[in-house]
Structure 1
Amino acid sequence: MTEPLAKTFEPGPIEAKWYAHWEEGGLFRPARDEAEPFTIVMPPPNVTGSLHIGHALDNTLQDVLIRIERMRGKDALWVVGTDHAGIATQMVVERQLDEQQVKRTDLGREAFVDKVWAWKAESGGHITRQLRRLGASCDWSNERFTMDEGFSRAVTKVFVALHERGLLYRDKRLVNWDPRFQTAISDLEVEAKDVAGKFYTLRFPFADGSGFIEVATTRPETMLADMAVAVHPDDARYAARIGQTLKHPITGRLIPIVADEHADPELGSGAVKITPGHDFNDYEVGKRAGFKPGEMLNMFDASAHVAQTADGLIPAELIGLTRDEARREVLARLEAEGALVKVEDRTIPTPFGDRSGVVIEPWLTDQWYVDAAALAKKPLEAVAEGDIAVVPETWKKTWFNWLENIQPWCVSRQLWWGHRIPAWYGFDLKKTHRDDGSGGFSAGSNDRRVFVAETFEEASAQARQFLAEIGHPPAEVIESADAADASDQWQNVHRPIYSIWRDEDVLDTWFSSALWPFATLGWPEPTADLARHYPNDVLISGFDILFFWDARMAMQGFEFMGERPWKTLYLHGLVRDDKGAKMSKSKGNVVDPLGLIDKYGADALRFTLAAMESQGRDIKLDEKRVEGYRNFATKLWNAARFLQGNGVGASGSIEAPAASLPVNRWIIGEVVETLAKLDAAIATFRFDAMADAIYHFTWGTFCDWYVELIKGAWDEETKAVAAWAFDQILVMLHPFMPFVTEELWHSMAVPAHPRPYDLIVAKWPTPDATVDAEAKREIGALVETIDAVRAMRAELNIPWTATLVPHVIGDEGLSRRLAANGPTLARMAKVADPVDAAAAPANAAQILVGGATVAFPLEGAIDLDAERARLTKAIEAAAKERDSLAARLGNPAFAERAKPEAVAKARADHDARAAEAERLSAALARLG
């Protein structure tokens, strides 16, 4: 046997030792080229990130599955990598530059991107180091990054292919614009907050001087870009006014009254101003009214300061104002003109950038879009037909609802860090003819030709083809910095040239991460990993990125690989605090997983998260649970020390040893049943049931019962069975608690049975044994009797000095089984040999064992009358408190006015008192 285990279990040194050993030994992906593949891809954490409790849950669940399948002998691949996180990373580096009083524009694009790469090299591995602390057994030897060379090539290829297939295009639309970062962001990156605001009623005069109409708005500053006023087509008040013209009270712009069901007759005046360039609902109204997006007015620049509209009607004094300043000035002018009718207090749902924290501005810009509706068809069919299993199934409805109503996906971002869009622009030249018969080529300043290609050389070829098509003489295609540079070259380079310049924008981070299941495996190259590991087996994801990432992976997987990206999509809930509140820094209730690991060990945290992961429910994380599972690890440690102290080491067999003693045949059967429960839970992704099965077998069945039952009876058979059963525990528990189990696996080795391999690559249990029904009945009866006698002694205050005589009523089989275990009963419950009886003796307490009655005469052991009196009084007290709590809970006023935690405590107290009253009543009934 190796050195005896230390008296105290200390997880820190064990974790550091074994993780380094596994990684250095290449054990996270052992060479198994001929084995059945099993693949999981890790949702790539942001390269800027730190491990939070959601990461800990997500990666614990993935690690449990990958360790199980590795032990089942599969070619288990857990793809790991990080996401370049466009906005988040650019924020970090810009913040560092701000400290040096340097702006990215001072550096220029190329130098700034170099700064980001330098930051990534120095600090970008922070979260991956933290994942190692958790025990994540990823294939670090093939770690990917969404901006690495191979991945970038895949991103470019997908963009170009989608464009060639007509599924990606450039369009002018309204987007969520973040004025701080000066980029478009997706709907999913907008956080709606209720803000105290105002509801303004304004007066717009008719152009013919025949009166005015009152309109309602929450954003009076945007009226500078108003293009219409809408009323409901069925609103009788305005039926005769539809089609008439209003004169804008500040700009003087003439705008029509249009009929549209968007106007709510019950809200305010029933008439609303329409600003299609700065409101999503107004944008749709504007289109229905006949305004083309290119005609819609835009009154803000990229930083949300007032800019002149295309018609030039905004007063010069307002140009350059912020949104708040513009609101104050507009209201002042309206009030001065008598056009501000009234102002009401309202709570206004307001969009904020989830990263910038500033109010988002709906803004009309040219962006790149993916035809998401076309790409969504196959993912919809796959889930509907069961080709992709969704667990839990309740999320299917959400999947269908979103994909069936999906909007075009804006994939361009106005950032410098990210995958630059592979598109080049050139002037859209037109052939001109002069009076003298000569000709040339000209282009308007806003006329553009776009060339989408993977490289500049391919874009140049497209440009030359364009020139040939319009009859332009052969010219050299050169790259310009931008449109202004191209115009300068056009005028000043004295040789036949055509200048093109690359799109300044980068792609949405989620565009690249949508390729994760296949681009990480080497696509577009036909690699061996791609052939073996696509589609992946399982995706484990938080439900909160179902739309950000999961659905988009399905879209791109079907489009470019022709099949589903994964066979099963498992969606887990959120980790909340112990009161069920969502964690946030502002609430001060954020749980740091690394702090828990430092305090209790990674194994305890992992087991807690797995045990609490119940499909479809959020997790209320209580630190006491983590502490409890640290105690579980200590229990396992002490069991190993106890076995070592009694000459038990490693087992010499994967199969169950031969056994003749009932207690040994029983524990072998318990292993078989536990493994069956565990395998069934694995097959249905019930992580809580997996943890429950191994926990109760380890702590209850093995440590509390088997070890106690065999004390003092260490024959060779028992040693062999105990060694084998403990090995099975270590193997079954390893995916949940990898560190302590690996340590004990090696510590239990003996010269006769060394460990030729590490536990991480040990074989998943295949005991080749059955449940011995007779042994199960015999030991089951013994355990049930001991448990019941101990409870009876505690409830009735029976001293341990008193030996009790069991009278078995009418069950000779039970009597025989108890008699066969007489020494154990005497040692563990202070019970004498059983007596067969036809009826219970007088003054006896009774228990049920397997449906049979066992009576214990108590005359002389306790004062029966005093005990009955004590129990009666205790029952009355518990019942009184129970009923009082029930009355409080039944009072609607309490349920409505009390804090949720107070209601929850009252309910828990009621249940506890009810259970106590029931238990004491059962004890009293035992006395007859």
Structure 2
Amino acid sequence: MAMDKNFDAQAAERRIADMWQAQDAFAAGANRRRDDAFSIMIPPPNVTGSLHMGHAFNNTLQDILVRWKRMQGFDTLWQPGQDHAGIATQMVVERGLAAEGKKRTDFTREEFLAKVWEWKAQSGGTIIGQLQRLGCSLDWSRNAFTMSGAPGAPAGEDGNFHDAVIKVFVDMYNKGLIYRGKRLVNWDPHFETAISDLEVENIETDGHMWHFKYPLAGGESYEYLEQDEDGNVIFREMRDYISIATTRPETMLGDGAVAVHPSDKRYASIVGKLCEIPVGPKEHRRLIPIITDDYPDPNFGSGAVKITGAHDANDYGVAKRGGIPMYRLMDTRAQMRADGAPYAEAAGVAGAVARGERSLSEAEADALNLVPDHLRGLDRYEARKAVVDEITTEGLAVMTRADDPRLGRKLGEDDDPAALVPLVEAKKIMQPFGDRSKVVIEPMLTDQWFVDAGKVVGPALDAVRDGRVKIMPESGEKTYFHWLENIEPWCISRQLWWGHQIPVWYGPKLSEDEKTVFAQRISQGQQQLSEGWTAFCAPTESEAVELAKAYYKRAHFGEDVTVVASQEEALRSFRLQEAGGASFTVPQMPIWRDPDVL
């Protein structure tokens, strides 16, 4: 046989890989000479991906270990598999639809998922072929996919991985390790979903910091003093406002307080007083309290910080500690909210809260839309410009000389360096971007599913403490313990269609005496799940229906439970029953499934 003039690596790699597979060289148990078993589950690469240096590094190490154990005669398995890659896969399919002038919402959920499966069958095997060509000794007869066996999966996508995921969710839910709650998350306005910290790229960009005056309520004033390290007064001024600085003026609309450090003597006389958010219709201008917290740095800026708990991670912590209401300003596309009651009504409620005349639950505060009517529906950056213009026009921007170096600009020959201009610092800021969408991430308070990670990590901590697992070098133990002992709840839900749908159904909640349903509360409009609905967690829809039947039977409502498509459809069903005079004595109880995926 003549040797080829040039070596064709691709043909050789394919030929050798095919030969190994034909001989089942890497099948579980191949070359077994002892009862001992050794297995590795490959960290499943994304089905949308192709190999990169990280794969090359960790797969090489796995291959070395597996081949070594196989040569020693162990019953050896290197288990292959691919991850369904929720956001990445949905992005690829939606991009293909966009090229045809279509979008996801032109289809039902089931129709769209069929298109995802179609894409997976045609284009989802790239990384498998690359691993095979590299000669990775995986048992390809056992190749697994994390969505195998899911509802709607086509022939050839059989398996029980979907069932296994759902089973673990139900088990953890029943043990109290998984719960639904309202927390601040990284919100991607392009994909309209929460994303993890690992999916956020923090990039230094050119930004600005605006300085504004928050007038004190009732025209009050105080003596503002600045002192040097020896206590000598270096600046003295009577002020009827407190100065704050922000890189995101549009979030001022959701402020719940202004915070200063407890040790900051400059503001001691006005702590506990109210100040005015300098934006919105003058007749409905909101008042918020001035509070103390350890978060503000007295040596940075004015030392006073606006607290917008629903749109900033640090502010969220201050709001939780201080019981400050958190008002969400934006919708899923990062546009200013356009829902709810008129601004005058909403501002009146928030004002009563600030004055201590009433309180709001977390859900009630979230439902309150404090965006002025004329700003509703605007993109967040359009709203930013409008807010800045309004405050500046009203004379509530902090002013400075035109030659102030913080402005970051050069003066022209005709410019007066002593002229007063708004203080807008030009500065570099770290801005979060979605690693796939490339749009600016909005920190936002939303309802999500969480794993109570603090309850889960105990065995991992114990394994190192008692010496069963050693961390090398030992200096790494400090980092390990610090991370696990301070771990936060883990957000496991995504607002996508592609993925394992949350196995929880919702139905109307019974009142305390279990004789009536919260019909009036529900029928008044969209309510938070925690207030108007009760959850039924089960592996299948039929099992959820049985749970619902048992729940409603206790209240003598019978067992007529139907499944509807959405919360909106459930609400519509209630309204129709009310209109028919059913009064919910023997109603048809609709339940609907949580639309989120894991």
**TM-score, structure 1 as length reference:** 0.52
Deviation at 1:316, TM superposition (A): 1.4
The answer to whether the aligner puts 1:23 opposite 2:21 as a matched pair is yes
Match of 1:379 in 2: 460
Match of 2:219 in 1: 209
Q: Conserved in 1, the CA contact under 8 Å of 2:215 and 2:275? A: yes
| Runs (5+) with no aligned partner, structure 1 | 508-928
Deviation at 1:138, TM superposition (A): 0.2
CA distance in 2, matches of 1:313, 1:365: 16
Deviation at 1:260, TM superposition (A): 0.6
> 3-state SS of the aligned residue for 1:28?
coil
Deviation at 1:243, TM superposition (A): 0.6
CA distance in 2, matches of 1:201, 1:93: 44
The answer to whether the aligner puts 1:476 opposite 2:560 as a matched pair is yes
Give the alignment of 1:434-449 within 5 angstroms. Answer: 442-445=519-522, 446=527, 447-449=532-534
- Structure 2 residue identity aligned to 1:421: I
The answer to whether the aligner puts 1:409 opposite 2:463 as a matched pair is no
- Structure 1 residue identity aligned to 2:326: M
Q: Conserved in 2, the CA contact under 8 Å of 1:475 and 1:496? A: no
Match of 1:487 in 2: 571
> 3-state SS of the aligned residue for 2:371?
coil
Match of 2:503 in 1: 422
Structure showing greater Rg: 1
Give the alignment of 1:417-816 within 5 angstroms. Answer: 417-430=498-511, 442-445=519-522, 446=527, 447-469=532-554, 471-492=555-576, 496-507=587-598
Greater shift, 195-204 or 391-400, is seen at 391-400
Match of 2:434 in 1: 353
The answer to whether the aligner puts 1:113 opposite 2:108 as a matched pair is no
Q: Deviations over 1:454-486 (max 9, x none)?
A: 1112211221222133x2321311101112211
Q: Structure 1 residues 103 and 506, CA, compared in 2 at 3 Å: closer, same or farther?
A: same
CA distance in 2, matches of 1:440, 1:171: 23
Give the alignment of 1:304-323 within 5 angstroms. Answer: 304-308=334-338, 310-323=367-380
Match of 1:198 in 2: 208
CA distance in 1, matches of 2:470, 2:200: 29
Q: Structure 1 residues 122 and 393, CA, compared in 2 at 3 Å: closer, same or farther?
A: farther
Match of 2:302 in 1: 269
- Structure 2 residue identity aligned to 1:466: Y
Match of 1:362 in 2: 443
CA distance in 2, matches of 1:485, 1:179: 25
Deviation at 1:353, TM superposition (A): 1.1
> 3-state SS of the aligned residue for 2:543?
helix
Match of 2:315 in 1: 282
- Structure 2 residue identity aligned to 1:481: A
Q: Deviations over 1:862-900 (max 9, x none)?
A: xxxxxxxxxxxxxxxxxxxxxxxxxxxxxxxxxxxxxxx
CA distance in 2, matches of 1:189, 1:326: 27
Deviation at 1:391, TM superposition (A): 5.7
Q: Deviations over 1:185-234 (max 9, x none)?
A: 11222111111111211100111111111111111110011110001111
Q: Conserved in 2, the CA contact under 8 Å of 1:69 and 1:76? A: yes
> 3-state SS of the aligned residue for 1:413?
coil
Q: Deviations over 1:72-111 (max 9, x none)?
A: 1111110101000000000000000001111110012110
Give the alignment of 1:40-119 within 5 angstroms. Answer: 40-119=40-119
> 3-state SS of the aligned residue for 1:208?
helix
Match of 1:259 in 2: 292
CA distance in 2, matches of 1:6, 1:392: 50
Q: Conserved in 2, the CA contact under 8 Å of 1:489 and 1:499? A: yes
> 3-state SS of the aligned residue for 1:282?
helix
Q: Conserved in 2, the CA contact under 8 Å of 1:242 and 1:257? A: yes
> 3-state SS of the aligned residue for 1:412?
coil
> 3-state SS of the aligned residue for 2:106?
helix
CA distance in 2, matches of 1:133, 1:393: 38
Match of 2:256 in 1: 227
Match of 1:327 in 2: 384
CA distance in 1, matches of 2:375, 2:34: 72
> 3-state SS of the aligned residue for 1:506?
coil
CA distance in 2, matches of 1:229, 1:499: 44
CA distance in 2, matches of 1:80, 1:390: 27
CA distance in 1, matches of 2:382, 2:451: 37
Q: Structure 1 residues 12 and 462, CA, compared in 2 at 3 Å: closer, same or farther?
A: closer
Q: Conserved in 2, the CA contact under 8 Å of 1:197 and 1:348? A: yes
CA distance in 2, matches of 1:271, 1:463: 51
CA distance in 1, matches of 2:512, 2:178: 29
- Structure 1 residue identity aligned to 2:592: W
Q: Structure 1 residues 35 and 305, CA, compared in 2 at 3 Å: closer, same or farther?
A: same
| Runs (5+) with no aligned partner, structure 2 | 150-159, 221-239, 339-345, 347-366, 399-422
Deviation at 1:384, TM superposition (A): 3.5
Q: Conserved in 1, the CA contact under 8 Å of 2:336 and 2:371? A: no
CA distance in 2, matches of 1:311, 1:76: 59
Deviation at 1:156, TM superposition (A): 0.5
Greater shift, 373-382 or 311-320, is seen at 311-320
CA distance in 1, matches of 2:544, 2:559: 14
Q: Conserved in 2, the CA contact under 8 Å of 1:175 and 1:363? A: yes
Give the alignment of 1:768-917 within 5 angstroms. Answer: none
CA distance in 1, matches of 2:6, 2:444: 63
> 3-state SS of the aligned residue for 2:521?
coil
Q: Structure 1 residues 236 and 492, CA, compared in 2 at 3 Å: closer, same or farther?
A: closer
Q: Deviations over 1:560-604 (max 9, x none)?
A: xxxxxxxxxxxxxxxxxxxxxxxxxxxxxxxxxxxxxxxxxxxxx
Q: Structure 1 residues 22 and 322, CA, compared in 2 at 3 Å: closer, same or farther?
A: same
**TM-score, structure 2 as length reference:** 0.79
- Structure 1 residue identity aligned to 2:54: G
Q: Conserved in 2, the CA contact under 8 Å of 1:431 and 1:440? A: no
> 3-state SS of the aligned residue for 1:132?
helix
State the aligned residue count.
497
CA distance in 2, matches of 1:501, 1:359: 33
> 3-state SS of the aligned residue for 2:91?
helix
Q: Deviations over 1:344-366 (max 9, x none)?
A: 11111111111111111111111
User: If each structure's helix is expressed as a fraction of its own residues, which one has the higher value?
Assistant: 1
Q: Conserved in 1, the CA contact under 8 Å of 2:216 and 2:275? A: yes
Match of 1:870 in 2: none
Give the alignment of 1:173-192 within 5 angstroms. Answer: 173-192=183-202
Within the candidate set 235, 241, 247, 2:270 is matched to: 241
CA distance in 2, matches of 1:259, 1:182: 35
Deviation at 1:35, TM superposition (A): 3.1
Q: Structure 1 residues 100 and 244, CA, compared in 2 at 3 Å: closer, same or farther?
A: same
